[in-house]
Amino acid sequence: MPDAPADLPEAASRRFESRAFTSGLTVPDFAACLQSGLRPVGFVQGFCVMQWSWYGMGSPYNRGLSPYGGGGGYSETYQCPHGYVSAEHRSWGRNYEQSWVEQAWSQGFGLAYGRMLEEATAVGAHGVIGVIDTSDRLSDLGVVEFHVRGTAVTVDGVPAPRGGQPWTTYLAGQRLTKLVEAGYAPVSVAAAVASVRVWAYCITEYLLGGGGSAWGGQQSSAEVTQVAAARTAARQLAREHVRAQLGGDSLHGAEMVVSEREVGEGDQEIQCLLRGNRVRRFKEFDPVAVPHPTVRLS
Amino acid sequence: MTDAPQDPSAAPEDLPKDLPEATSRRLAELEHGLFTSDLSVNEFLLIKEVGFHPLGLVMGSSIYHTGIQTRKWGQSQELTKLTEAMYNARELAMTRMEEEADQLGADGVVGVRLDVNYYEWGKDAAEFIAVGTAVKAESGVSHRNALGKPFTSDLSGQDFWTLMQTGYIPQGLVMGTCVYHIAHRGLGQTLGSAGQNVELPNFTQALYEAREMAMTRMQDEADRLEASGIVGVRLEEKSHQWGSHTIEFLSLGTAVTKTSDEVTLPVPTTIISLDN
Protein backbone atom coordinates (compact mmCIF):
# COMPACT_ATOMS: atom_id res chain seq x y z
CA MET A 1 0.00 0.00 0.00
CA PRO A 2 2.08 2.94 -1.22
CA ASP A 3 0.03 5.68 0.42
CA ALA A 4 -0.31 4.05 3.83
CA PRO A 5 0.42 6.53 6.60
CA ALA A 6 3.91 6.27 7.98
CA ASP A 7 3.02 5.66 11.61
CA LEU A 8 0.90 2.54 11.12
CA PRO A 9 2.76 -0.52 12.34
CA GLU A 10 4.45 -2.46 9.62
CA ALA A 11 2.18 -5.44 10.21
CA ALA A 12 -0.86 -3.31 9.36
CA SER A 13 0.40 -2.34 5.94
CA ARG A 14 1.38 -5.95 5.30
CA ARG A 15 -2.12 -7.00 6.26
CA PHE A 16 -3.76 -4.56 3.87
CA GLU A 17 -1.76 -5.87 0.93
CA SER A 18 -3.65 -9.14 1.15
CA ARG A 19 -6.24 -9.83 -1.50
CA ALA A 20 -8.97 -10.93 0.86
CA PHE A 21 -11.21 -8.45 2.60
CA THR A 22 -11.81 -8.82 6.32
CA SER A 23 -14.95 -7.81 8.11
CA GLY A 24 -15.87 -7.81 11.75
CA LEU A 25 -19.55 -7.95 10.85
CA THR A 26 -21.79 -10.83 11.81
CA VAL A 27 -23.33 -12.68 8.87
CA PRO A 28 -26.75 -10.94 9.16
CA ASP A 29 -25.02 -7.55 9.29
CA PHE A 30 -22.79 -8.57 6.37
CA ALA A 31 -25.86 -9.51 4.30
CA ALA A 32 -27.64 -6.26 5.20
CA CYS A 33 -24.51 -4.33 4.32
CA LEU A 34 -24.31 -5.89 0.83
CA GLN A 35 -28.03 -5.29 0.44
CA SER A 36 -27.74 -1.59 1.01
CA GLY A 37 -24.85 -1.30 -1.43
CA LEU A 38 -21.94 -1.25 1.00
CA ARG A 39 -18.93 -3.46 0.40
CA PRO A 40 -16.62 -4.38 3.31
CA VAL A 41 -12.95 -3.83 2.54
CA GLY A 42 -11.20 -4.39 5.82
CA PHE A 43 -11.36 -4.70 9.56
CA VAL A 44 -9.68 -1.54 10.80
CA GLN A 45 -8.52 -0.63 14.26
CA GLY A 46 -6.58 1.82 16.35
CA PHE A 47 -5.04 1.70 19.81
CA CYS A 48 -3.66 4.03 22.37
CA VAL A 49 -2.18 3.22 25.75
CA MET A 50 -2.42 6.16 28.12
CA GLN A 51 -0.96 6.99 31.46
CA TRP A 52 -3.57 8.71 33.59
CA SER A 53 -2.58 11.24 36.17
CA TRP A 54 -4.67 9.71 38.94
CA TYR A 55 -2.23 10.55 41.64
CA GLY A 56 -0.35 13.41 40.09
CA MET A 57 0.92 16.12 42.38
CA GLY A 58 -0.49 18.88 40.23
CA SER A 59 -4.03 17.58 40.31
CA PRO A 60 -6.36 18.62 43.13
CA TYR A 61 -6.62 14.95 44.02
CA ASN A 62 -6.01 15.70 47.56
CA ARG A 63 -8.39 16.33 50.38
CA GLY A 64 -6.11 18.84 52.02
CA LEU A 65 -6.83 21.48 49.42
CA SER A 66 -9.08 24.37 50.20
CA PRO A 67 -12.78 23.66 49.67
CA TYR A 68 -13.16 26.89 47.78
CA GLY A 69 -10.38 26.44 45.25
CA GLY A 70 -11.92 25.72 41.86
CA GLY A 71 -10.30 23.90 38.94
CA GLY A 72 -12.73 25.42 36.47
CA GLY A 73 -15.93 23.68 35.38
CA TYR A 74 -18.60 22.37 37.68
CA SER A 75 -17.90 22.72 41.38
CA GLU A 76 -20.16 22.78 44.42
CA THR A 77 -19.25 23.12 48.09
CA TYR A 78 -21.18 21.63 50.99
CA GLN A 79 -20.89 23.20 54.40
CA CYS A 80 -21.54 21.22 57.56
CA PRO A 81 -24.38 22.64 59.72
CA HIS A 82 -23.05 21.25 62.98
CA GLY A 83 -20.34 23.67 63.92
CA TYR A 84 -17.15 22.33 65.49
CA VAL A 85 -17.55 18.68 66.54
CA SER A 86 -14.12 17.12 66.36
CA ALA A 87 -11.00 17.16 64.24
CA GLU A 88 -12.21 14.08 62.31
CA HIS A 89 -15.60 15.59 61.59
CA ARG A 90 -15.88 16.47 57.92
CA SER A 91 -17.03 20.02 58.18
CA TRP A 92 -17.03 20.57 54.44
CA GLY A 93 -17.40 18.55 51.26
CA ARG A 94 -17.15 19.26 47.60
CA ASN A 95 -18.26 18.01 44.19
CA TYR A 96 -16.15 19.01 41.26
CA GLU A 97 -15.56 18.16 37.64
CA GLN A 98 -12.25 16.41 37.00
CA SER A 99 -11.47 18.03 33.70
CA TRP A 100 -8.02 16.40 33.54
CA VAL A 101 -9.64 12.93 33.55
CA GLU A 102 -12.04 14.02 30.82
CA GLN A 103 -9.15 15.37 28.76
CA ALA A 104 -7.10 12.18 29.20
CA TRP A 105 -10.08 10.14 28.08
CA SER A 106 -10.75 12.23 25.00
CA GLN A 107 -7.06 12.30 24.14
CA GLY A 108 -6.76 8.50 24.38
CA PHE A 109 -10.01 7.88 22.56
CA GLY A 110 -9.14 10.49 19.95
CA LEU A 111 -5.72 9.01 19.18
CA ALA A 112 -7.07 5.47 18.86
CA TYR A 113 -9.98 6.73 16.74
CA GLY A 114 -7.63 8.73 14.53
CA ARG A 115 -5.46 5.66 13.94
CA MET A 116 -8.51 3.65 12.95
CA LEU A 117 -9.37 6.40 10.45
CA GLU A 118 -5.82 6.23 9.07
CA GLU A 119 -6.21 2.50 8.48
CA ALA A 120 -9.59 3.14 6.84
CA THR A 121 -8.10 5.82 4.60
CA ALA A 122 -5.24 3.46 3.70
CA VAL A 123 -7.70 0.87 2.36
CA GLY A 124 -9.60 3.54 0.42
CA ALA A 125 -12.80 3.31 2.45
CA HIS A 126 -15.73 5.72 2.28
CA GLY A 127 -16.77 4.92 5.81
CA VAL A 128 -16.45 2.65 8.83
CA ILE A 129 -19.48 0.79 10.18
CA GLY A 130 -20.11 -1.29 13.29
CA VAL A 131 -17.59 0.68 15.35
CA ILE A 132 -16.83 -0.72 18.81
CA ASP A 133 -14.81 1.18 21.38
CA THR A 134 -13.46 -0.18 24.63
CA SER A 135 -11.08 1.06 27.26
CA ASP A 136 -9.40 -1.42 29.54
CA ARG A 137 -7.11 -1.02 32.49
CA LEU A 138 -3.77 -2.70 31.95
CA SER A 139 -2.09 -4.27 34.93
CA ASP A 140 -0.05 -1.20 35.86
CA LEU A 141 -1.92 1.27 37.98
CA GLY A 142 -3.33 4.16 36.04
CA VAL A 143 -2.54 2.75 32.60
CA VAL A 144 -5.53 2.47 30.30
CA GLU A 145 -5.69 1.08 26.82
CA PHE A 146 -8.16 2.44 24.27
CA HIS A 147 -9.15 0.19 21.41
CA VAL A 148 -11.41 1.41 18.61
CA ARG A 149 -12.29 -0.89 15.73
CA GLY A 150 -14.84 -1.33 12.97
CA THR A 151 -15.36 -2.54 9.41
CA ALA A 152 -14.25 -0.21 6.63
CA VAL A 153 -16.63 -0.13 3.68
CA THR A 154 -16.92 1.39 0.22
CA VAL A 155 -20.21 2.50 -1.29
CA ASP A 156 -21.15 0.81 -4.58
CA GLY A 157 -21.13 3.10 -7.56
CA VAL A 158 -19.43 5.98 -5.78
CA PRO A 159 -15.93 7.03 -6.96
CA ALA A 160 -13.05 6.37 -4.58
CA PRO A 161 -12.70 9.03 -1.91
CA ARG A 162 -10.13 11.75 -2.55
CA GLY A 163 -9.00 13.26 0.70
CA GLY A 164 -11.41 13.93 3.51
CA GLN A 165 -12.14 11.69 6.44
CA PRO A 166 -14.22 8.54 6.19
CA TRP A 167 -17.57 8.73 7.95
CA THR A 168 -18.05 6.42 10.94
CA THR A 169 -20.96 4.93 12.85
CA TYR A 170 -21.57 2.52 15.70
CA LEU A 171 -24.42 1.06 13.64
CA ALA A 172 -24.23 -1.81 11.19
CA GLY A 173 -26.64 -4.07 9.38
CA GLN A 174 -30.36 -3.43 9.32
CA ARG A 175 -30.17 -0.68 11.92
CA LEU A 176 -27.93 1.32 9.62
CA THR A 177 -30.04 0.50 6.56
CA LYS A 178 -33.21 1.66 8.33
CA LEU A 179 -31.55 4.91 9.35
CA VAL A 180 -30.39 5.62 5.81
CA GLU A 181 -33.81 4.73 4.40
CA ALA A 182 -35.37 7.17 6.81
CA GLY A 183 -33.23 9.89 5.23
CA TYR A 184 -30.30 10.24 7.62
CA ALA A 185 -26.64 9.77 6.68
CA PRO A 186 -24.04 8.80 9.29
CA VAL A 187 -21.40 11.48 9.90
CA SER A 188 -19.27 10.16 12.73
CA VAL A 189 -19.38 8.53 16.10
CA ALA A 190 -19.57 10.95 19.01
CA ALA A 191 -18.39 10.05 22.49
CA ALA A 192 -17.33 11.89 25.61
CA VAL A 193 -16.76 11.23 29.26
CA ALA A 194 -17.67 13.40 32.22
CA SER A 195 -15.93 12.78 35.50
CA VAL A 196 -17.13 14.18 38.81
CA ARG A 197 -15.40 13.72 42.14
CA VAL A 198 -17.36 13.62 45.38
CA TRP A 199 -15.59 14.58 48.62
CA ALA A 200 -18.24 13.71 51.15
CA TYR A 201 -19.05 16.10 53.99
CA CYS A 202 -20.33 14.75 57.28
CA ILE A 203 -23.98 14.28 56.31
CA THR A 204 -23.16 12.46 53.07
CA GLU A 205 -20.63 10.31 54.85
CA TYR A 206 -23.12 9.22 57.50
CA LEU A 207 -25.96 8.68 55.04
CA LEU A 208 -23.78 6.52 52.79
CA GLY A 209 -22.55 4.63 55.81
CA GLY A 210 -26.15 3.76 56.66
CA GLY A 211 -26.09 5.89 59.78
CA GLY A 212 -28.73 8.40 58.77
CA SER A 213 -30.59 8.27 62.05
CA ALA A 214 -27.53 8.98 64.15
CA TRP A 215 -27.16 12.53 62.91
CA GLY A 216 -30.27 13.29 60.96
CA GLY A 217 -32.65 12.45 63.81
CA GLN A 218 -35.64 10.18 63.25
CA GLN A 219 -35.87 9.71 59.49
CA SER A 220 -34.45 6.52 58.00
CA SER A 221 -34.82 7.34 54.30
CA ALA A 222 -33.40 10.52 52.94
CA GLU A 223 -31.97 11.76 49.69
CA VAL A 224 -28.20 11.87 49.62
CA THR A 225 -28.27 15.28 48.03
CA GLN A 226 -24.56 15.62 47.44
CA VAL A 227 -24.32 12.36 45.49
CA ALA A 228 -27.56 13.03 43.62
CA ALA A 229 -26.21 16.42 42.57
CA ALA A 230 -22.91 14.90 41.44
CA ARG A 231 -24.63 12.27 39.32
CA THR A 232 -26.94 14.83 37.76
CA ALA A 233 -23.96 17.03 37.00
CA ALA A 234 -21.99 14.15 35.43
CA ARG A 235 -24.88 13.31 33.10
CA GLN A 236 -25.35 16.92 32.17
CA LEU A 237 -21.64 17.48 31.53
CA ALA A 238 -21.41 14.40 29.31
CA ARG A 239 -24.34 15.69 27.30
CA GLU A 240 -22.74 19.09 26.94
CA HIS A 241 -19.42 17.59 25.84
CA VAL A 242 -21.10 15.49 23.16
CA ARG A 243 -23.30 18.38 22.04
CA ALA A 244 -20.15 20.42 21.49
CA GLN A 245 -19.00 17.76 18.99
CA LEU A 246 -22.22 17.71 17.00
CA GLY A 247 -21.87 20.99 15.15
CA GLY A 248 -25.61 21.25 14.57
CA ASP A 249 -26.15 17.61 13.55
CA SER A 250 -28.37 15.19 15.44
CA LEU A 251 -27.35 12.43 17.82
CA HIS A 252 -28.93 9.07 17.15
CA GLY A 253 -29.00 5.95 19.29
CA ALA A 254 -27.28 7.52 22.27
CA GLU A 255 -26.13 5.26 25.04
CA MET A 256 -25.16 6.47 28.49
CA VAL A 257 -23.12 4.43 30.92
CA VAL A 258 -22.66 5.71 34.46
CA SER A 259 -20.16 4.03 36.72
CA GLU A 260 -18.75 4.91 40.08
CA ARG A 261 -15.64 4.07 41.97
CA GLU A 262 -15.30 4.28 45.72
CA VAL A 263 -12.17 6.17 46.67
CA GLY A 264 -12.55 6.32 50.43
CA GLU A 265 -15.19 6.47 53.12
CA GLY A 266 -18.09 8.16 51.35
CA ASP A 267 -15.76 9.59 48.73
CA GLN A 268 -16.32 8.54 45.17
CA GLU A 269 -15.67 9.26 41.58
CA ILE A 270 -18.54 9.23 39.11
CA GLN A 271 -17.89 8.66 35.45
CA CYS A 272 -20.50 9.13 32.78
CA LEU A 273 -19.77 7.92 29.26
CA LEU A 274 -22.12 9.07 26.53
CA ARG A 275 -21.78 7.77 23.01
CA GLY A 276 -23.96 7.91 19.94
CA ASN A 277 -24.07 8.45 16.22
CA ARG A 278 -23.83 11.89 14.73
CA VAL A 279 -26.25 11.86 11.78
CA ARG A 280 -27.35 14.40 9.19
CA ARG A 281 -30.54 14.54 7.18
CA PHE A 282 -29.83 14.20 3.46
CA LYS A 283 -33.28 13.60 2.04
CA GLU A 284 -36.94 13.88 2.93
CA PHE A 285 -38.24 11.38 5.44
CA ASP A 286 -39.35 8.31 3.59
CA PRO A 287 -41.34 5.97 5.79
CA VAL A 288 -40.53 2.27 5.46
CA ALA A 289 -43.07 -0.11 3.99
CA VAL A 290 -46.09 -0.92 6.17
CA PRO A 291 -44.97 -3.79 8.38
CA HIS A 292 -46.54 -7.18 8.05
CA PRO A 293 -47.93 -8.39 11.40
CA THR A 294 -46.64 -11.80 12.43
CA VAL A 295 -47.43 -14.24 15.20
CA ARG A 296 -45.00 -16.87 16.35
CA LEU A 297 -46.41 -20.37 16.72
CA SER A 298 -43.79 -21.59 19.16
CA MET B 1 -7.52 -43.89 -0.32
CA THR B 2 -8.48 -45.77 -3.47
CA ASP B 3 -10.80 -44.65 -6.18
CA ALA B 4 -12.70 -47.93 -6.09
CA PRO B 5 -16.33 -47.69 -4.98
CA GLN B 6 -16.40 -48.10 -1.25
CA ASP B 7 -18.15 -50.82 0.65
CA PRO B 8 -19.42 -49.13 3.82
CA SER B 9 -18.33 -52.01 6.03
CA ALA B 10 -14.76 -51.58 4.82
CA ALA B 11 -14.67 -47.92 5.71
CA PRO B 12 -12.93 -48.11 9.10
CA GLU B 13 -9.75 -49.45 7.54
CA ASP B 14 -9.38 -46.28 5.52
CA LEU B 15 -9.44 -44.10 8.58
CA PRO B 16 -6.45 -41.95 9.22
CA LYS B 17 -4.21 -43.71 11.69
CA ASP B 18 -4.40 -41.01 14.31
CA LEU B 19 -8.11 -41.23 15.05
CA PRO B 20 -9.09 -43.41 18.03
CA GLU B 21 -10.74 -46.76 17.47
CA ALA B 22 -14.04 -45.63 19.01
CA THR B 23 -14.23 -43.05 16.23
CA SER B 24 -14.24 -45.65 13.51
CA ARG B 25 -17.13 -47.54 15.08
CA ARG B 26 -19.11 -44.34 15.51
CA LEU B 27 -18.38 -43.08 12.01
CA ALA B 28 -19.22 -46.46 10.48
CA GLU B 29 -22.66 -46.23 12.06
CA LEU B 30 -23.10 -42.72 10.74
CA GLU B 31 -22.35 -43.91 7.24
CA HIS B 32 -25.41 -46.15 7.36
CA GLY B 33 -27.68 -43.14 7.36
CA LEU B 34 -28.10 -42.34 11.04
CA PHE B 35 -27.05 -38.80 11.76
CA THR B 36 -26.13 -36.97 14.92
CA SER B 37 -25.98 -33.20 15.19
CA ASP B 38 -26.05 -30.50 17.79
CA LEU B 39 -28.12 -28.28 15.53
CA SER B 40 -31.32 -26.83 16.92
CA VAL B 41 -34.51 -27.71 15.04
CA ASN B 42 -34.53 -24.30 13.33
CA GLU B 43 -30.90 -24.63 12.30
CA PHE B 44 -31.57 -28.12 10.95
CA LEU B 45 -34.49 -26.85 8.85
CA LEU B 46 -32.51 -23.92 7.47
CA ILE B 47 -29.56 -26.11 6.53
CA LYS B 48 -31.95 -28.47 4.74
CA GLU B 49 -33.54 -25.46 3.03
CA VAL B 50 -30.24 -24.47 1.36
CA GLY B 51 -29.79 -28.06 0.21
CA PHE B 52 -27.47 -29.54 2.81
CA HIS B 53 -27.98 -32.59 4.98
CA PRO B 54 -26.29 -33.12 8.35
CA LEU B 55 -24.10 -36.23 8.46
CA GLY B 56 -22.85 -36.29 11.99
CA LEU B 57 -21.24 -34.55 14.88
CA VAL B 58 -17.50 -34.49 14.30
CA MET B 59 -14.71 -33.49 16.61
CA GLY B 60 -11.02 -33.36 17.06
CA SER B 61 -8.97 -32.94 20.16
CA SER B 62 -5.39 -32.44 21.14
CA ILE B 63 -3.82 -32.30 24.55
CA TYR B 64 -0.81 -30.12 24.25
CA HIS B 65 1.94 -29.29 26.62
CA THR B 66 2.73 -25.63 26.26
CA GLY B 67 6.31 -25.04 27.23
CA ILE B 68 7.68 -22.08 29.05
CA GLN B 69 9.73 -19.34 27.57
CA THR B 70 11.90 -16.84 29.34
CA ARG B 71 10.71 -13.27 29.09
CA LYS B 72 12.67 -10.14 29.62
CA TRP B 73 11.14 -8.10 32.42
CA GLY B 74 11.39 -4.78 30.70
CA GLN B 75 10.92 -5.74 27.06
CA SER B 76 7.82 -6.29 24.97
CA GLN B 77 8.26 -9.24 22.64
CA GLU B 78 6.45 -12.02 20.92
CA LEU B 79 6.85 -15.38 22.66
CA THR B 80 7.28 -17.42 19.53
CA LYS B 81 7.38 -20.78 21.29
CA LEU B 82 4.04 -20.18 22.95
CA THR B 83 2.55 -18.78 19.76
CA GLU B 84 3.66 -21.91 17.95
CA ALA B 85 2.21 -24.16 20.66
CA MET B 86 -1.18 -22.45 20.61
CA TYR B 87 -1.18 -22.59 16.83
CA ASN B 88 -0.13 -26.22 16.46
CA ALA B 89 -2.52 -27.46 19.10
CA ARG B 90 -5.54 -25.78 17.50
CA GLU B 91 -4.38 -26.89 14.08
CA LEU B 92 -4.16 -30.52 15.28
CA ALA B 93 -7.64 -30.41 16.79
CA MET B 94 -9.06 -28.83 13.63
CA THR B 95 -7.28 -31.27 11.33
CA ARG B 96 -8.60 -34.25 13.27
CA MET B 97 -12.10 -32.85 13.07
CA GLU B 98 -11.62 -32.36 9.32
CA GLU B 99 -10.42 -35.96 9.02
CA GLU B 100 -13.58 -37.20 10.72
CA ALA B 101 -15.64 -35.05 8.36
CA ASP B 102 -13.63 -36.27 5.39
CA GLN B 103 -14.30 -39.85 6.45
CA LEU B 104 -18.03 -39.16 6.33
CA GLY B 105 -17.65 -37.70 2.84
CA ALA B 106 -18.81 -34.34 4.10
CA ASP B 107 -18.65 -31.10 2.13
CA GLY B 108 -18.16 -29.08 5.23
CA VAL B 109 -18.57 -28.57 8.95
CA VAL B 110 -20.84 -25.91 10.41
CA GLY B 111 -21.19 -24.54 13.92
CA VAL B 112 -17.57 -25.28 14.85
CA ARG B 113 -16.65 -24.46 18.42
CA LEU B 114 -13.01 -24.14 19.29
CA ASP B 115 -12.35 -24.39 23.01
CA VAL B 116 -9.39 -24.62 25.30
CA ASN B 117 -9.77 -26.52 28.57
CA TYR B 118 -7.36 -26.77 31.44
CA TYR B 119 -7.42 -29.75 33.75
CA GLU B 120 -6.18 -30.18 37.26
CA TRP B 121 -4.11 -33.23 36.37
CA GLY B 122 -2.06 -31.52 33.76
CA LYS B 123 -0.23 -28.40 34.75
CA ASP B 124 0.93 -26.47 31.68
CA ALA B 125 -1.11 -28.85 29.53
CA ALA B 126 -4.26 -27.78 27.80
CA GLU B 127 -6.87 -29.62 25.80
CA PHE B 128 -7.77 -28.00 22.53
CA ILE B 129 -11.04 -29.25 21.19
CA ALA B 130 -12.97 -28.58 17.99
CA VAL B 131 -16.58 -29.78 17.61
CA GLY B 132 -19.01 -29.19 14.76
CA THR B 133 -21.67 -30.75 12.58
CA ALA B 134 -20.57 -32.25 9.25
CA VAL B 135 -22.89 -31.48 6.34
CA LYS B 136 -23.14 -32.62 2.72
CA ALA B 137 -24.88 -31.07 -0.27
CA GLU B 138 -27.92 -33.09 -1.33
CA SER B 139 -27.36 -32.19 -4.98
CA GLY B 140 -24.11 -34.17 -4.99
CA VAL B 141 -22.16 -31.10 -6.18
CA SER B 142 -18.95 -30.81 -4.18
CA HIS B 143 -18.62 -27.76 -1.96
CA ARG B 144 -15.19 -28.61 -0.65
CA ASN B 145 -12.66 -25.82 -0.41
CA ALA B 146 -9.70 -24.98 -2.63
CA LEU B 147 -7.55 -27.54 -0.80
CA GLY B 148 -10.07 -30.33 -1.50
CA LYS B 149 -10.98 -30.56 2.18
CA PRO B 150 -14.37 -30.07 3.81
CA PHE B 151 -14.93 -26.41 4.63
CA THR B 152 -15.19 -25.47 8.28
CA SER B 153 -17.03 -22.53 9.80
CA ASP B 154 -18.28 -21.32 13.12
CA LEU B 155 -21.50 -20.11 11.52
CA SER B 156 -24.82 -21.10 13.06
CA GLY B 157 -27.50 -22.65 10.85
CA GLN B 158 -29.14 -19.21 10.54
CA ASP B 159 -25.88 -17.53 9.58
CA PHE B 160 -25.09 -20.31 7.10
CA TRP B 161 -28.47 -19.82 5.41
CA THR B 162 -28.06 -16.04 5.25
CA LEU B 163 -24.53 -16.28 3.88
CA MET B 164 -25.66 -18.63 1.11
CA GLN B 165 -28.31 -16.04 0.13
CA THR B 166 -25.60 -13.44 -0.41
CA GLY B 167 -23.79 -15.67 -2.90
CA TYR B 168 -20.84 -16.42 -0.67
CA ILE B 169 -19.88 -19.88 0.54
CA PRO B 170 -17.64 -20.63 3.53
CA GLN B 171 -14.15 -21.94 2.84
CA GLY B 172 -12.78 -22.47 6.29
CA LEU B 173 -12.52 -21.27 9.83
CA VAL B 174 -9.33 -19.23 9.76
CA MET B 175 -7.33 -18.06 12.71
CA GLY B 176 -4.17 -16.33 13.66
CA THR B 177 -2.57 -16.12 17.02
CA CYS B 178 0.22 -14.24 18.68
CA VAL B 179 1.41 -14.66 22.25
CA TYR B 180 2.97 -11.46 23.43
CA HIS B 181 4.81 -10.40 26.53
CA ILE B 182 4.09 -6.82 27.57
CA ALA B 183 7.03 -5.17 29.28
CA HIS B 184 6.85 -4.10 32.90
CA ARG B 185 7.54 -0.45 33.47
CA GLY B 186 10.66 0.54 35.32
CA LEU B 187 10.42 2.66 38.42
CA GLY B 188 12.13 5.53 36.66
CA GLN B 189 9.66 5.47 33.79
CA THR B 190 6.69 5.36 36.16
CA LEU B 191 7.95 8.27 38.21
CA GLY B 192 8.95 10.19 35.12
CA SER B 193 5.43 10.28 33.78
CA ALA B 194 3.57 10.55 37.09
CA GLY B 195 1.12 13.38 37.16
CA GLN B 196 0.83 13.64 33.40
CA ASN B 197 -1.64 12.50 30.85
CA VAL B 198 0.64 11.00 28.25
CA GLU B 199 0.49 8.31 25.69
CA LEU B 200 2.83 5.39 26.32
CA PRO B 201 3.95 4.78 22.76
CA ASN B 202 5.89 1.60 23.57
CA PHE B 203 2.80 -0.07 24.99
CA THR B 204 0.59 1.18 22.19
CA GLN B 205 3.00 -0.16 19.63
CA ALA B 206 3.44 -3.52 21.35
CA LEU B 207 -0.28 -4.20 21.57
CA TYR B 208 -0.87 -2.86 18.06
CA GLU B 209 1.87 -5.04 16.60
CA ALA B 210 0.66 -8.16 18.43
CA ARG B 211 -2.91 -7.83 17.20
CA GLU B 212 -1.84 -6.99 13.68
CA MET B 213 0.37 -10.09 13.61
CA ALA B 214 -2.54 -12.27 14.73
CA MET B 215 -4.74 -10.74 12.02
CA THR B 216 -2.08 -11.04 9.33
CA ARG B 217 -1.66 -14.73 10.13
CA MET B 218 -5.40 -15.19 9.90
CA GLN B 219 -5.41 -13.50 6.50
CA ASP B 220 -2.53 -15.69 5.32
CA GLU B 221 -4.69 -18.71 6.07
CA ALA B 222 -7.54 -17.18 4.07
CA ASP B 223 -5.16 -16.51 1.17
CA ARG B 224 -4.10 -20.15 1.19
CA LEU B 225 -7.79 -21.08 0.82
CA GLU B 226 -8.03 -18.58 -2.07
CA ALA B 227 -10.84 -16.90 -0.21
CA SER B 228 -12.25 -13.57 -1.28
CA GLY B 229 -12.89 -12.41 2.25
CA ILE B 230 -13.33 -13.16 5.92
CA VAL B 231 -16.56 -12.46 7.73
CA GLY B 232 -17.29 -12.30 11.44
CA VAL B 233 -13.73 -11.46 12.51
CA ARG B 234 -13.32 -11.60 16.28
CA LEU B 235 -10.31 -10.53 18.29
CA GLU B 236 -9.98 -12.39 21.56
CA GLU B 237 -7.52 -11.82 24.33
CA LYS B 238 -6.65 -14.44 26.89
CA SER B 239 -4.02 -14.63 29.55
CA HIS B 240 -4.58 -18.38 30.07
CA GLN B 241 -2.31 -19.30 32.96
CA TRP B 242 0.64 -17.11 32.19
CA GLY B 243 0.07 -14.12 34.43
CA SER B 244 -1.23 -10.74 33.39
CA HIS B 245 1.74 -9.56 31.32
CA THR B 246 1.57 -12.40 28.83
CA ILE B 247 -1.42 -12.27 26.55
CA GLU B 248 -2.59 -14.43 23.67
CA PHE B 249 -4.18 -12.41 20.90
CA LEU B 250 -6.39 -14.70 18.86
CA SER B 251 -8.22 -13.60 15.78
CA LEU B 252 -10.86 -15.85 14.28
CA GLY B 253 -13.21 -15.60 11.33
CA THR B 254 -14.85 -17.53 8.52
CA ALA B 255 -13.15 -17.26 5.14
CA VAL B 256 -15.64 -17.03 2.28
CA THR B 257 -15.55 -17.01 -1.52
CA LYS B 258 -18.01 -15.58 -3.96
CA THR B 259 -19.75 -18.17 -6.09
CA SER B 260 -19.89 -17.55 -9.80
CA ASP B 261 -23.68 -17.43 -9.99
CA GLU B 262 -25.36 -14.05 -10.12
CA VAL B 263 -27.23 -13.39 -6.90
CA THR B 264 -30.00 -10.95 -6.23
CA LEU B 265 -30.63 -10.60 -2.56
CA PRO B 266 -34.30 -10.89 -1.65
CA VAL B 267 -35.66 -7.61 -0.31
CA PRO B 268 -36.44 -8.17 3.38
CA THR B 269 -40.04 -7.74 4.47
CA THR B 270 -40.72 -5.39 7.35
CA ILE B 271 -42.68 -7.19 10.02
CA ILE B 272 -44.13 -6.34 13.36
CA SER B 273 -44.36 -9.07 15.92
CA LEU B 274 -47.67 -9.34 17.74
CA ASP B 275 -46.11 -11.57 20.39
CA ASN B 276 -45.17 -10.07 23.70
What ipTM was reported for this prediction? 0.71
**Tens of pLDDT, residues A37-81:** 899 999 999 999 888 765 443 444 444 444 444 456 888 888 888
Max CA pair span of chain A: 76
Nearest-neighbour CA in chain B from A106: distance (Å) = 11
What is the structure's pLDDT at B194? 60
Question: How far apart are the C-alpha atoms of A31 and B256, rounded to whole Å?
Answer: 13
Helix A27-35 × helix B157-165 angle, to 10°: 20
Q: Which of the residues in chain B have pLDDT under 70?
A: 1-18, 30-31, 73-74, 122-123, 185-196, 240-241, 244, 276
Interface test with A, best of B233, B239, B249 (most A CBs within 10 A): B233
- Do B197 and A104 count as a contact with CB atoms less than 8 A apart? yes
A88 — pLDDT class (breaks 50, 70, 90): confident
Residues of A in Cβ contact (< 8 Å) with B166 = 30-31, 34
**Tens of pLDDT, residues A136-189:** 877 656 788 899 999 999 998 888 888 789 999 999 988 898 888 888 999 999
Interface of B with A in 55-94 (CB under 8 A): none
Question: How far apart are the C-alpha atoms of A21 and A123, rounded to whole Å?
Answer: 10
Residues of B in Cβ contact (< 8 Å) with A23 = 229-233, 253
- Identify the structural domains of chain A with CATH numbers, from first to last: 1-59+100-182 (3.30.110.70), 64-97+191-281 (no CATH)
Higher pLDDT: A270 or B68? It is A270
For chain A, how big is the Rg over CA atoms in Å? 24
Please tell me the pTM assigned to this model: 0.79
Instruction: State which residue of chain B sits closest to A296, comparing Cα positions.
Output: B275
Residues of B in Cβ contact (< 8 Å) with A113 = none
- Identify the structural domains of chain B with CATH numbers, from first to last: 30-191+199-258 (3.30.110.70)
- The answer for residues whose C-beta is within 8 angstroms of residue A127's C-beta and 6 or more apart is A38, A120, A152, A153, A155, A166, A167, A168, A169, A186
Q: Which of B162, B166, B194 sits opposite A56 (nearest CB)?
A: B194
- Do A55 and B273 count as a contact with CB atoms less than 8 A apart? no
- The answer for residues whose C-beta is within 8 angstroms of residue B43's C-beta and 6 or more apart is B111, B156, B157, B158, B160
What is the structure's pLDDT at A104? 86
**Tens of pLDDT, residues B132-155:** 999 999 888 888 888 889 999 999
